[in-house]
Amino acid sequence: MAELLELWWGGLDGGSGLTRRDRAGCHYHAFLPDPLTGRTFQFEGRVAADVADAERRLTSLDRAALTLGNTETLARLLLRAESVASSRIEGLEVAPRRLLRADVAREEGASIADVTALEVLGNVDAMAFAVASVEEGSPITKELILETHRRLLGETSQAQHAGRIRTVQNWIGGSSYNPCSASFVPPPPDRVEGYLDDLCAFCNDDALPAVAQAAIAHAQFETIHPFVDGNGRVGRALIQMILRRRGLVRRTLPPVSLVLATYSVDYIAALRQTHVAVAPTSREAMDGINAWVALFAAACTRAVDDAATFEKAIETIKKGWLKRLGSVRSHSAARALLDVLTGVPIVTVKSAVKLTGRSTPAVNDAIARLVDARILHQPNARAWNRTFEAREIIDAFVGLERKLASPAGDTVASPPARRVPAR
């Protein structure tokens, strides 16, 4: 049975420059959730139907990706969208163009002063590693979760905590100096590893529908809060790992975090409904799980719908490019670059050579041709380290984020529920 564990927080001595409130000691309660393995879950009829609908839509998105000329392109774009949204939930705001430029600079080996962009790029790297490391039926291990966390924080100011289970008590809300007024306190550090072992065992069990399993595993991960920082982003990467392990998605990455970011108030409220110190078979516990799973299933369905719309927008842009470009050989550098741009809409000559596998002279000629066709634009006139942007793809990327930020899926009819990039 889940329980609240009463603990004592020792106060700080005077003279530290803190207020009495921040220096105070107190009794506080840490939440100990029920383990997941062996636990029985019962879903209401309508929740079970929502889960089944979400699973059908996810597999349909994956099947549709088979018809694309370049499924890697769609996967890369959706991965970046998912990572940006997951970071945004944590308060890391960065516009798509700014992130893409930082990514190009990093690939070129240039120093990057944009700390926020670097943190979001770390989330892109961590998400990419997580999904690439899991195949259908393969195990999700504690080591895999720790490595995902290491890649997330390895290049940030929190690098000393990267890939390490916390050894201190953390909490959510209240003071930065003590948990006395916290809104939620996860389990104490000596309990975390055992909970992670249990969570991994649950992730590798196929007894529940995949969408319900991903929802419950994510909620448990956020409840455990096993790291000093980065819990939300790793917890959302875990969602994608489970969906991939269960075979629902193999070629695409549904931007579930974009939807959860839009419904952030409901997201947090639904997670909190699972934090009840009662027997797991009680009505209160069951109601909390059902409310959370229903919200999660709806987020998956919405993510599929908007990913499909995004895919069509990208295909329309590409067809327009081919029309403007005119006759182009299928194996030419221009065609190879065209295929690359939908997934990497900002390039340099050096990065384009690497991405296309063509020679520098061939790539220079291809870039010149695409600039003439108004497919690529050069944002600066300098002769060295030139960058070129496929603005239509960047605009489509911004449009996806704006669309998903609207509760109704249309920013004209329903204003964004969170901060979004300008058009």
C-alpha–C-alpha distance, residues 118 and 39, integer Å: 40
Q: Which of 63-77, 82-96, 140-154, 175-189 has the lowest mean pLDDT?
A: 63-77
Q: Could you give the domains of the chain?
A: 40-166+188-309 (1.10.3290.10), 319-389 (1.10.10)
C-alpha–C-alpha distance, residues 210 and 134, integer Å: 14
Number of Cβ within a 10 Å radius of residue 405: 23
pTM of the model: 0.85
Task: Tell me which residue of 308, 361, 366, 354 sits closest to 77, measured CA to CA.
Answer: 308
Helix (H) or strand (E) holding 3: strand 3-9
pLDDT tens by residue, 15-56: 567 787 788 889 999 999 999 999 999 999 999 999 999 999
Calculate what percentage of the chain has a pLDDT beyond 90.
51
* Average pLDDT rounded to a whole number, residues 373-380: 89
pLDDT tens by residue, 75-98: 666 777 777 766 766 677 777 777
Residue with the bigger pLDDT between 196 and 73: it is 196
What confidence score (pLDDT) does residue 138 get?
Answer: 95
Half-sphere exposure of 228 (CA within 13 A, CB side): 14
